[in-house]
Amino acid sequence: MNTRKIANKLGLAVCIFLLVSPALLFFIWMLSLSLKFEIDNGAYPPILIPERFAWKNYTGVFEGNSFLLYFKNSVIVTGTATLFALIVGVPAGYAIARMKAHKSAIVIMIARMTPGLSFLIPLFLLFQWMGLLGTLWPQIIIHLVVTVPIVIWVMIGYFETTPLELEEAAMIDGANRWEIFMKVAMPIAKPGIVVSFILALIFSWNNFVFGIVLASRETRTLPVAVYNMLSFEQVSWGPLAAAALIVTLPVLILTVVAQRQIVAGLTAGAVKGG
């Protein structure tokens, strides 16, 4: 029996390693690029650990670009879009789950699966007509196309597995539907809300397509700022990798810190449903 358990754990470890190793390899290689001078980045055979670290790649990101401005723009756009998504998506997920409005859920799924470019062109014309281009509002509004369906879908799955007995007891005590949602359903759904928040934040923070079309020079977000570091003459891999790591770092830290909440939120529904 012990041998079988060891074999199962070993097989699971091998599967996890095979799944994680490509992403880990890419991250390590990007870190190596960001710490090397260009002569080392072009060397053959490749050099993983250089003799001298090129810290100027990181300092140059902040010195040669308005990186702090772009960081502030990303925080405003992502934070506002995620907040609005939670305000809209959590009650919508609860309503759809309790009303068993499966057709509405399918429509939301279709909206999530539809490529962002399908919304981008008509919304660009609308924002141009409204005179909002060059501000952060177009990016905030169009990011809701990404964040709201994510929040709704996660919350539908979570609310469908939460027990109805507490809500029925509150209704017998005279509570209305809004009071039941705020005082009974919301506290139970905290793990699902945390997962929705993190997923919406990640998708919004990393969005590139909307920012490159709708942003002006003063309203660019970090993914667009990294793209603008490319030039036709040459690609400086060191500064580019350093900028990409700086952009990735906040989301990476959030994911590592909140990994327990993410796992708990994604598995809680399945445990309750069982």
Instruction: Provide the residue type at 67 as one letter.
Output: F
Query: From the CA atom positions of the chain, what is the Rg in Å?
Result: 23
For the segment 61-83, what is each residue's pLDDT rounded down to a tens digit?
777 667 788 888 889 999 999 99
Across residues 37-42, what is the average pLDDT? 72
Lowest mean pLDDT among 5-14, 32-41, 139-148, 188-197: 5-14
Task: Give this prediction's pTM.
Answer: 0.77
What does the block give as tokens for 227?
A: 């793209």
Residue 271: per-residue pLDDT = 43
- Written as six digits, the tokens of 234 are 């040459």
Q: What is the mean pLDDT of residues 157-173?
A: 79
The DSSP line for 61-124 is: HHHHS-HHHHHHHHHHHHHHHHHHHHHHHHHHHHHHHHHT-HHHHHHHHHHHHS-HHHHHHHHH
Residue in 65, 41, 58 with CA at minimum distance from that of residue 249: 58
Q: How many CB atoms lie within 10 A of CB 166?
A: 15
**pLDDT score recorded for residue 267:** 58
Residue predicted with more confidence, 274 or 220: 220
Q: What's 32-64 look like in SS3?
A: HHHCCCHHHHCCCCCCCCCCCCCCHHHHHHHHH
Mean per-residue pLDDT, 162-180: 78
The tokens for 228 are 């603008």
Structure-token pair, residue 130: 């409204």
Neighbours of 54 (CB within 10 A): 21
What is the largest distance, in Å, between two alpha-carbon atoms of the chain? 75
Max mean pLDDT range (28-42, 139-153, 236-250): 139-153
Q: Which one, of 197, 87, 105, 200, lies nearest residue 156 by Cα?
A: 105
What spatial distance separates the first Cα and last Cα of the chain, rounded to whole Å?
27
Residue 273, pLDDT > 50, answer no
pLDDT value at 270 more than 50: no
Task: Look at 13 and 37; give whichever has higher pLDDT.
Answer: 37
Q: Who's near 121: CB < 8 A, 6+ residues apart?
A: none
Sign of CA dihedral 57, 59, 64, 68: positive
Rounded to the nearest 5 percent, the helix, strand and coil shares of the chain are: 80, 0, 20
The more confident residue out of 194 and 256 is 194
